[in-house]
Structures are given as structure tokens and as C-alpha cells.
Structure 1
Amino acid sequence: MSTATSTLPSFDAGEAVAFRPTAPTDFASAGLNQALVESLVMKFLLGIGVSSGRKIAEELGLPFGPFPEFLRGLKAQQLVTYTDTAAANDYYFSLTDAGRSRARGYMEECAYVGTAPVPFADYVGAISAQSIAREQPKEADLRRAFSDLLVSEEMFGVLGPAINSGKGLFLYGYPGNGKTSIAERITRCYGSTVWIPRTILVEGQILKLFDPANHEPLEHQRSGLLRNDDLDNRWIQIRRPTIVAGGELTMEALEIYYDTDNKICEAPLQMKSNNGTFLIDDFGRQRMAPIELLNRWIVPLEKRYDFLRLPNGKQIRVPFDQLILFSTNLEPKDLVDEAFLRRIPYKINAADPTEAMYRRMIEIFAPKLGFDEIDEQAVDYLIAQHYRRVNRPFRCCQPRDLLLQVRNYCIYNDLPLELKPEYFDFAAGNYFTVL
């Protein structure tokens, strides 16, 4: 499939969130040629049987304007036929025998059916328009993003400049000190939403970008009989993505995946995380050596773009516009050499909480879990008996985990939700058995 010339969707020159893809006027301005539109229309009709022209346009995410003439052309070629009249000078269409034969041929070439793709050049322009580099979060943005998480002032002082830089950072420290929680909230410091295409047309290949498992969409009214907006419905507005990959991450997940059965490509994780953050959690626990994974990011971290290979062998240059985070329980210097650490300018230690922070976390979590009152003597007993006596360090996850155990104990035994020393003994006995 070849591409026609397209016009980059217009956007305001102000904040990145002002980007708003506007509907094309015809197929050419959408960057689509007649052959591609024909294949999408006929594959859709092959699956659904009968559809109105407006429903076809809605399925492709395109305005209805150019479809009447286009569908008349398919009828003149005896590929589709009218089955009934529809509202507002529209008709219902179905495939003829010749049309079904051609549609099956299209399905063998590529089984994708759905929203028409957006040209790759338009996608690149959209990434630039909504770049995190355009955002410069301040302290107020940081405190808003972390409002539901207890973070020390020292951590705020280091995190702020690191997030503002838009470059990679290491979060390291003992397990349970909130490294993943911190990373997941960093995205909130930037503008709240971005627009991405559902699919992209690049070098004749259809590349699926929108991923319901990793992208949280904001619903908008689709085009219909009474269109009341001028949005290009091939795009979808999502919350700035935060994609997390842990010990299951493989090198294959960082390359374009090609479905050989359906002849469709799917974007890799770093491409799905553009305009957001990409967290590599439990760094050092992946099946490949840490240096192998880190070498994959040398060029993207330096140049802010990545190279990906399509199934036809062509390489494309893709924007690398995200804050990449490495979260690890190990010392960064034990994982990689100094040359690579230089490319990740910020290394932030998620330190153990102080006793005051630990007590404050109990005060925060207890009401959320149904405890109406906090017995300070019971908390004193917990700290003295299960921390100071055995020289056990505090961890950020422990107040919530221990309170959950107390809550479950009370519910099971039909007891009032209270914090008592003997309840904490039960919870600590379970929780710290092998710690």
C-alpha cells in the first residue's frame, strides 16, 4: 500500500495539550489513497454483510463527505450493490460475488479491519507537538501529582529537577520503598492527556499503536448523522501513558511485532510510551544481561529517536519522547559501567522511611481500611517489639500491609476493627516470618 500526501493535523502553538487533530476533507488530505480505502471498506462489508454508507465512514473514522461518490464508483465496478435506502440520501450496501472475491484477496494481504490509519509523518508531528520536552513541571505540579503518596522533602528536592529534565533516571533502593509508585506518578507531572492515532500507515504497513492494556482513553462522541465536532476520529485522546515492564521484559518486546497470520504490525513498548514515561521495573531481573538491555537505549537516550525495522526489511526513525525510568533493588554501579551511567544523569535513592513517616503512613492508611481510631499505644508496641527489638528497618509498604492483615483478622473473627498489640503480634508473625 502506498500513501498519498497528507496535511499534518492542525494544532495551537501554545501548550502541548492544545494539539487537536482535525477531520480531513477528503481521502487525499487524510493521507489515504483509493486502493487502501477500498480494501478497508470491502473487508468491513465482508465481515458485517450489510451497512449504510455513514456506518462505513464511522467504522473507518472518516467524515462521510467523500463516501457517496466513492461507493457509487464501487457499485459501477459491480463490487457492491444497493440493498435498501437509508436516511439523508444514504444507502445500505453489500458485496456482490465479485466484491466478496476481491475482499477475500484483501484479507489475505492484510486481515486488519477497522479505523483507517494515520500517515507516519502525521504521527511524528503529533509527538513533537505534544512532547514532554514542552512541559516544564514546577514544584506545585510535583506536589499535585504526588498528593496521594507520602514523599520526603529530600526526595522532592531531587525528583523535581530530574522530572523537569525529561531525561532518564535510576530509582534504586530496598524493595517496598515505593519505587514503582513514584515512577507511576511521575507522568502526572506533565500535561494530563495526549492524542495518538489508533493505527499508523508506514512504508505500506499498518502498525497498531493504541493498546487498551497500556492506554487509558477518554471517550469522545464518534461521527454520525448529526456530526457536532470536527475531530479526526482516527485519533484517540488518552491519558499520558505510563508503561511498566518488569522481569518479563524481552528484547523482542522492544521491536515491531509482526503477526504473520493476519499480516499486521504492532508497535513496541517504547513507541507506545511516547509522550509519557516508560518504567523498566525490577531492572537486573530480566532474562537478558543488564548491559544488553541498556545498550539498546544508548542511541535513543542520546539522540531522542530510535530505529525500528519493519517486516519488509526497511528501517524507520521513530521519535523517542518519554522519560525512561529504571527501577532496581540493586546498586546502579553494580549493574552497569560508568559510561552508561553518564547517559542517565539522575540516580535517586528511594530510602527507608523515618519513624515519623512510618507513623504518618499508619495515620493515612488506617481510616481508608475502616479503622475509626488509632491506638497510639498499640502503634508504640508494634514499633518497639517488631522493629527496635530486632533491629528491623522500616519499609514504605509495611504500614499498609500490616494494617490489611489486622483488618482481615478482625473480619474473619467477627471482631471490631481495632488496633491492638495482640493483633499486631498476629500480623507481624505472618508478615515477618522469613524477613
Structure 2
Amino acid sequence: MSFVNSSLESALPPDLAAALAKRAAANAPQLPGAMPASAPARHRVADAQEPFPPPPPEPRDLAEAGLTEGAVDALLMKTLLGRVTASGADLARQSCLSHAIVTAALARMRDELLVVIKGQALGGDYSYQLSEAGHTRARQHAEHGAYADAAPVPLAAYERAIRAQAVGQTRVTVETLRQAFDEMTLGESMLSLLAQAVSDGRGLFLYGAPGNGKTTIAEHVCGAFGKHLWIPRAISIGGDVLKLFDESCHQPIESEELQGVRYDRRWVLIKRPTVVVGGELTLEQLDPAFNAASGVSEAPVQMKANGGVLVIDDFGRQRVSSTELLNRLIVPLEKQFDYLSLASGRQARVPFEMLCVLSTNLEPSQLVDEAFLRRIPYKVEVDNPTPTQFRDLFRHYAKQLGIELPSGAVETLMSEHYAPSERPLRFCHPRDLLRQAKNYCTVHDRPMVADTESLGAAVRNYFAGL
């Protein structure tokens, strides 16, 4: 999968585009049934273990950047309004634009008497500030919105890029999923079911009793799609700017491979996102949130999950009803695009490229009717662990926590505290009980041993008579 060819190829000159396509073809993994590298990106298959996707090339002019002179001038003037003076390099760094584009804009604004040179800067650069006319113009721009950070990327470029890097472009097998779940104990039948659902890359119901790791499974699923993707910091949709990059959802990757490489700094290399929302989710969070002070809208949660996984945890317990929530998501789930209402009043069609996981403790049929269930093609029950898995988990967590687990301790626990009350086994119990047993040993200055005394105290605290 070549990000360069798929996302910005229309902006490249033919000779450069051909060279990049040739390089991508030479480096592309040869997979059974894969389309050749020259095929449209949406038909290509990428290996989940491939290295960092190539960075987007640095635009050499406004046409390649998809920006207008007016938009760049306004952005730089608002930056100077806030900073008073700044060098060309400072302005390029903050706007994430190439030095060539920024230098051309500053020359243009000097000709219009909007900026003046304040002095010399390092490396033959200059320090700039606004003229009186520039101050007036910058304040006028700021009245419409004070945003003065990274220049936005056109929606069309974002859509091409996210389609090329979509989860559906990744070949998922049971083996790649097993690697993604290497820290969890999952049976082969469960891995097979999950692999089928993940390979489809659309909707998935995870249901079952609490404490068996549904949320943890949903969070690990993303590892099967490949580790990284490129997203823009902000997107321009007509006159609207949508801020996409969010450090609370997106983990930026610092790569030595990118050091010294010239690429479009408006894009960020991130770890594939897993965005988890729970009972706090409302319908309003599925639309852009406009900030009147900055004049910029924040992208909704499902858009921040593009290229990864959106987990709706405790589905059925949101402030909004299950039916209303699925009514809002049903078209995006089927069509793989969404419509957003923007601050300007216009509607924009944006990609909906993610695996949507609905995690619930309830039976899916209790939440929605058959018509909705048909649109969520995979329903995977996360069942209780078997006694063998339960014992294996105790051994695993005892080693991880550094506490001794005597032979027969788990059998005694199960016979005394599970069998009499028919208490069901849960995947979370070994970890939680051993943590409490370890804490009991610590506060009582006892040897770190999960014996009858320490585990008995853990059971009394944890289950509280249940």
C-alpha cells in the first residue's frame, strides 16, 4: 500500500508520480490475489506487518497543497498577530507549510505592504512583522476565527488517503489476529470468529457476561490491521476547517526514518487509533463541535476513529437509546461514508472507514430489532473461561505479579468459593484476586504467596457476599 500514490498522486507531476508508482511496485508485498501496485488504492491489499507507510510528499506550490493565496496569507497574518515578530522558518514550522510556499506568501504580502522585514534571522532568513495595514487586515481575519496552527488539507486528499489506508485494505488471518492477542488467552474458535469479523472490517457485536474482556478484546483488535497510518492535523471543507488530530485519541509516532526527510508536515504519522466511548456518548458527539473563538470545528469521535476501531462500550446504556444511536450510524455502516453538518450550514460527505465494535453485557436481540441486527453482520459471544483457561490465567498473572502460587491453590479456591455457590468463572477474576492477595501480603508483611489465607481475604473483599 503506497500512501504517496493513493492520496496525493493527482497533485504530482506525471514524471514524479510515475517514479513513485514504480518504487511502490518494487517494494509492494506480493500477496495471493493482490492487485498490482498500479491499481486503484481501494483495491489493493496491504500486509499488516509492513513497515511505516511512505510519507506524503512535500507540496512545492499552492496548487499541490490544495490551498489558495488568500487562505495562506490569512493564516500567516493571524500567526504574526499573535507572535508580533517571527522568522520565515518559524512561520513555516507553525503552519506546517514548506519554506518555499511561506517565502512566496511573505513576498506577496510585502508587495501589498501588509508585512515588513524587522531584521535578519539565522541561516539567511528574515524576521517579519505586520505593518499597520497588515494589523488591520489580520484583525479582520481573526474576527472570523483565530485559528493559526497547521494549514488544513483538502477533504478530497484526506478521503483518498484514508480509503487507501482503511482497515478493509489489510489482509487479516487467524495468525495475524493471534499475534495481536498475544497477551490474552483466547481459544481457537474465538480467534476464528473474530478473524472473520475483523477481516470484513465493518460492524461487530461483542456480547457476554461482564468481566470476560470484551472491552480488552475490542481494544486489541486494531493491532490486526497494521500499526500505523497518516492523518492530517486539520481538514478544509469549503470555508470550514475541521480539526482532526487529537492527542487524546491519536498517538503520534516519532520515527528515525522520518528524520531529515522532506514531507508534507500537515500530516501526522500515528498508531492506528482505537477510540472508546461509553455511557457518556450522545448524538451530539457524532457531529462536529464548533469553537466560536477559534472558528474551527472539532471532528466527531467516529471521524477520529477512521483507519482504526470505534468501540461503543456498554452499548445499550448510553444517554441516547440504542435505536436512536443505530439510526444515526446505520447508513455509515452500510455505505462507508457519513454526512456531517458543518458550522457554515453546509453538509459534507466524509469517509467512514473503521471497524465499529458494539460491546454489551446484554443479548443483542434485547437491544435492537432484527432489521438492525442484520446490518451488524457479526455477533461474537465472549463466554466464560474453561477451568483449564482459569488455571492457566492464575499461573500467568502470578508470574507477572511476582507472587508464588502453590500447587493446588486454584483447585482449593474453585472448590471452596466457586462450586458451592455455582459462582461463574470470569476471565478477570485471576488477575483481580491475585492483586488483592499480593496487597494482603504486603500490608501484613507476609511472604508473597497466594495461599488459602491471602486468597480467602481477596475473595471476601472482591465478592462482598455475592
Give the TM bin, normalised by the shorter chain. Answer: over 0.9
Q: Secondary structure at the match of 2:358?
A: strand
Q: Choose which of 122, 128, 144 in structure 2 pairs with 1:109.
A: 144
1:303 to 2:338 alignment: no
Measured against aligned partners, the alpha-carbon deviations of 1:13-71 in whole angstroms (never above 9, x if no partner) come to: 46556453111001221011111111111111122222111111111111111333321
d(CA) in 1 for partners of 2:166, 2:456: 51
Residue 239 of structure 1 corresponds to 271
Residue 407 of structure 2 corresponds to 376
Residue 49 of structure 1 corresponds to 84
Displacement after TM superposition at 1:221 (Å): 7.8
Q: Choose which of 276, 280, 290 in structure 1 pairs with 2:308.
A: 276
Aligned-partner residue type, residue 378 of structure 1: A
Q: Secondary structure at the match of 1:237?
A: strand
* 1:323 to 1:184, Cα distance in 2 relative to 1, 3 A: same
Aligned-partner residue type, residue 350 of structure 1: V
Does the 8 Å CA contact 1:243/1:269 hold for their aligned counterparts? yes
Residue 353 of structure 1 corresponds to 385
- 1:181-330 to 2 correspondences below 5 Å: 181-219=216-254, 228-330=260-362
d(CA) in 2 for partners of 1:104, 1:434: 66
Q: Secondary structure at the match of 1:236?
A: strand
* 1:112 to 1:221, Cα distance in 2 relative to 1, 3 A: farther
Q: Choose which of 439, 449, 466 in structure 2 pairs with 1:408.
A: 439
Q: Secondary structure at the match of 1:88?
A: helix
Residue 387 of structure 1 corresponds to 418
Residue 420 of structure 1 corresponds to 451
Q: Secondary structure at the match of 1:376?
A: coil
Q: Secondary structure at the match of 2:359?
A: strand
Aligned-partner residue type, residue 132 of structure 2: D
Aligned-partner residue type, residue 349 of structure 1: E
Residue 433 of structure 1 corresponds to 464
Q: Secondary structure at the match of 2:248?
A: coil
* 1:289 to 1:8, Cα distance in 2 relative to 1, 3 A: farther
Aligned-partner residue type, residue 47 of structure 1: G
Does the 8 Å CA contact 2:145/2:292 hold for their aligned counterparts? no
Displacement after TM superposition at 1:6 (Å): 9.9
Q: Choose which of 398, 411, 432 in structure 1 pairs with 2:429.
A: 398
Measured against aligned partners, the alpha-carbon deviations of 1:131-185 in whole angstroms (never above 9, x if no partner) come to: 1111121122011000001111221121111111112010000000000010011
Aligned-partner residue type, residue 420 of structure 2: R
* 1:73 to 1:167, Cα distance in 2 relative to 1, 3 A: closer
d(CA) in 2 for partners of 1:8, 1:199: 18
d(CA) in 1 for partners of 2:182, 2:255: 28
d(CA) in 1 for partners of 2:11, 2:53: 15
Q: Which moved more, 1:294-303 or 1:341-350?
A: 294-303
User: Unpaired runs of 5+ in structure 1?
Assistant: none
Displacement after TM superposition at 1:300 (Å): 1.1
- More helix by percentage: 2
Does the 8 Å CA contact 2:115/2:129 hold for their aligned counterparts? yes
Provide the TM-score with structure 2 as the length reference: 0.88
d(CA) in 1 for partners of 2:274, 2:91: 33
Displacement after TM superposition at 1:8 (Å): 4.7
User: Unpaired runs of 5+ in structure 2?
Assistant: 1-7, 25-36, 38-43, 47-51
Does the 8 Å CA contact 2:438/2:454 hold for their aligned counterparts? no
